[in-house]
Structure 1
Amino acid sequence: MAALPIQPLSPLDGRYRAAVAPLSEFLSEAGLNRTRVEVEVEWIIALTDRSMFGTSPLSDEHKSALRAAYLDFDQASIDWLGEKEAVTRHDVKAVEYFVRDRLSQLGLDAIAELTHFGCTSEDVNSLSYALVVQRATLQVWLPALRTVIEALRTFAHANADAAMLSHTHGQPATPSTMGKELGVFAWRLERIAKQIEQNEFLGKFSGATGTWSAHVVASPETEWPTVAREFVESLGLGFNLITTQIESHDWQVELYDKIRHAGGVLHNLATDMWTYISMAYFAQIPVAGATGSSTMPHKINPIRFENAEANLEIAGALLNSLSTTLVTSRMQRDLTDSSTQRNIGVAFGHSLLAIDNLTRGLTEVSLSQHVLDADLDGNWEILGEAIQTVVRAEVVAGRSTISDPYALLKELTRGHKVGAAEMRAFVEGLEIGDEAKQRLLALTPGTYIGVAAELARGI
Structure 2
Amino acid sequence: MASLAELTPPIALGALDGRYRGAVAPLVDHLSEAALNRQRVHVEVEWLIYLAQHQVVAPSRLLTDDQVAALRRVVEDFGADDIAELGRIERETVHDVKAVEYYLKRRLAGLDREDLSELVHFACTSEDINNLSYALMVRGAVTQVWLPRADALLEQLEQLARDLAEVPLLAHTHGQPATPTTMGKELAVLAHRLRRQRRRVASAEYLGKLNGATGTYGAHLAAVPEADWQQVSREFVQGLGLTWNPLTTQIESHDWQAELYADLARFNRVLHNLCTDLWSYISLGYFAQVRGQGTVGSSTMPHKVNPIRFENAEANLEVSNALLDVLASTLVTSRLQRDLTDSSMQRNIGTALGHGLLALDNVAKGLAGLDAAPEAMAADLEANWEVLAEPVQSAMRALAVAGHPGMDNPYERLKELTRGRRITGDDLREFVRGLGLPEDVQERLAGLTPQTYVGLAPQLVAHLDRSAPGPGTPDSADRRGGVAR
TM-score by length of 2: 0.94
**2:11 maps to 1:7:** yes
Aligned-partner Cα distance in 2 for 1:310–1:24:
22
Report the CA distance between 1:274 and its aligned residue. Answer: 0.6
Match of 2:296 in 1: 291
Q: Residue 476 of structure 2 aligns with which residue?
A: none
1:81 equivalent in structure 2: 86
For the residue of structure 1 that corresponds to 2:179, the secondary structure is strand
8 Å contact from structure 1 (residues 400, 432) kept in 2: no
Q: Given the alignment, which residue of 362, 387, 394 partners 1:389?
A: 394
- Give the counterpart of 1:111 among 107, 110, 116: 116
Amino acid corresponding to residue 10 of structure 1 in structure 2: G
Alignment-derived partner of residue 167 in structure 1: 172
On the 8 A contact 1:164/1:177 being kept in 2, the answer is: yes
CA distance in structure 1 between the partners assigned to 2:208 and 2:293 by the alignment: 50
- Which stretch of the first structure deviates more once superposed, 403-412 or 334-343? 403-412
Residue 185 of structure 1 deviates from its aligned partner by: 1.2
Alignment correspondent of 1:317: 322
Identify which range, 359-368 or 3-12, moves more after superposition: 3-12
Report the number of matched residues: 459
- What is the Cα deviation at residue 402 of structure 1? 2.0
SS of the aligned residue for 2:16 comes to helix
2:129 to 105, 124, 136: 124
CA deviations on 1:192-251 (whole Å, 9 max, x unpaired) are 111111111001100000000010111111110110010000000011100000000000
Counterpart CA distance in 2 for 1:288 and 1:303 is: 12
Shift of 1:49: 1.6
Shift of 1:59: 1.4
| Contact 2:399–2:407 (CA under 8 A) maintained in structure 1 | no
One-letter code aligned to 1:449: V
Could you say which residue in structure 1 is the equivalent of 2:477?
A: none
The 8 Å contact of residues 179 and 453 in structure 1, kept in 2 or not, is answered as yes
The yes-or-no answer on 1:375 pairing with 2:395 is: no
Q: Does 1:222 align with 2:227?
A: yes
CA contact (8 A) 2:291 2:368 kept: no
SS in 1 for 2:138: helix
Q: How big is the shift at 1:70?
A: 0.7
Match of 1:429 among 431, 434, 440: 434
Distance 1:378 1:454 in 2: 25
Q: Deviation of residue 434 (structure 1)?
A: 1.2
Provide the rounded CA distance (Å) in 1 between the counterparts of 2:123 and 2:419. 76
Shift of the 38–192 alpha-carbon distance from structure 1 to 2, 3 Å rule, reads same
**Quick one: distance in 2 between partners of 1:83 and 1:400?**
93
Between the aligned partners of 1:250 and 1:410, the Cα distance in structure 2 is 54
2:445 equivalent among 440, 446, 454: 440
1:271 alignment partner, one of 276, 293, 296:
276
Aligned to 1:44: 48
Distance in 1, matches of 2:257 and 2:293, equals 43
Partners of 1:287 and 1:361 lie apart in 2 by 10
SS in 2 for 1:448: coil
| Residue aligned with 2:371, SS | strand
In the TM superposition, what is the alpha-carbon distance from 1:86 to its structure 2 partner? 1.2
Equivalences for 1:152-163 in 2 at 5 Å?
152-163=157-168
| Residue number in structure 1 paired with 2:21 | 17
Q: Distance in 2 between matches of 1:146 and 1:411?
A: 49
Structure 2 letter corresponding to 1:9: L
Q: Would you say the 8 A contact 1:391–1:400 is kept in 2?
A: no
Please name the residue that 1:352 is paired with: 357
Is 1:334–2:339 an aligned residue pair?
A: yes
Match of residue 182 from structure 2: 177
Aligned to 1:207: 212
1:405 to 2:401 alignment: no
Matching of residue 261 in structure 1 with residue 278 in structure 2 = no
Q: How far apart are residue 288 of structure 1 and its match?
A: 5.2
Is 1:135 aligned with 2:125? no
Shift of 1:55: 2.2
Within 2, Cα distance between the matches of 1:400 and 1:82? 89
Aligned to 1:231: 236
Specify the SS of the correspondent of 1:402: coil
Distance 1:329 1:3 in 2: 40
Structure 2 Cα separation of the partners of residues 437 and 87 of structure 1: 89
On the 8 A contact 2:97/2:126 being kept in 1, the answer is yes
Provide the secondary structure at the position in 1 that maps to 2:461.
helix
In 2, Cα distance between the equivalents of 1:39 and 1:434? 79
Letter of the 2:258 counterpart: V
Contact 1:281 1:372 in 2 (8 A): yes
Tell me: CA distance 1:286–1:147, structure 2 relative to 1, closer, same or farther (3 Å). Answer: closer
For residue 47 of structure 2, give the secondary structure of its aligned residue in structure 1.
helix
**Unmatched segments (≥5 aa) in structure 1:** none
Structure 2 residue identity aligned to 1:40: E
Structure 2 residue aligned with 1:150: 155
Percentage identity across paired residues of the two chains = 54
- AA of the residue aligned to 2:53: D
Q: CA RMSD in A?
A: 0.9
The structure 1 segments of at least 4 consecutive aligned residues displaced by more than 6 Å after TM superposition are none
The correspondence of residues 55-74 of structure 1 with structure 2, limited to 5 A, is 55-74=60-79
The alignment status of 1:27 with 2:31, answered yes or no, reads yes
| 1:296-350 deviation line (CA, Å, top 9, x unaligned) | 1111111100000000000000001101110100000000000000000000000
Distance in 1 between residues matched to 2:227 and 2:259, nearest whole Å: 34
Partners of 2:398 and 2:370 lie apart in 1 by: 42
Secondary structure, aligned partner of 1:296: coil
Aligned AA for 2:40? R
Q: How far apart in 2 are the matches of 1:68 and 1:162?
A: 57
Does the Cα contact within 8 Å between 2:23 and 2:358 map onto a contact in 1?
A: yes
Per-residue CA deviations over 1:69-125 (Å, capped at 9, x if unaligned) read 111101001111111111111111111111111111111100010000010000000
Single out whichever of 431-440 and 66-75 deviates more from structure 2: 431-440
Q: Whole-Å Cα distance in 1 between the matches of residues 266 and 18 of structure 2?
A: 27
CA distance in 1, matches of 2:335, 2:295: 53
The separation in 1 between residues aligned to 2:182 and 2:80, in whole angstroms, is 53
Q: Is the 8 A contact 1:427 1:441 kept in 2?
A: yes
Q: For the Cα contact (< 8 Å) 1:156–1:457, is it kept in 2?
A: no
Normalising by the residue count of structure 1, what TM-score does the alignment of the two structures yield?
A: 0.99
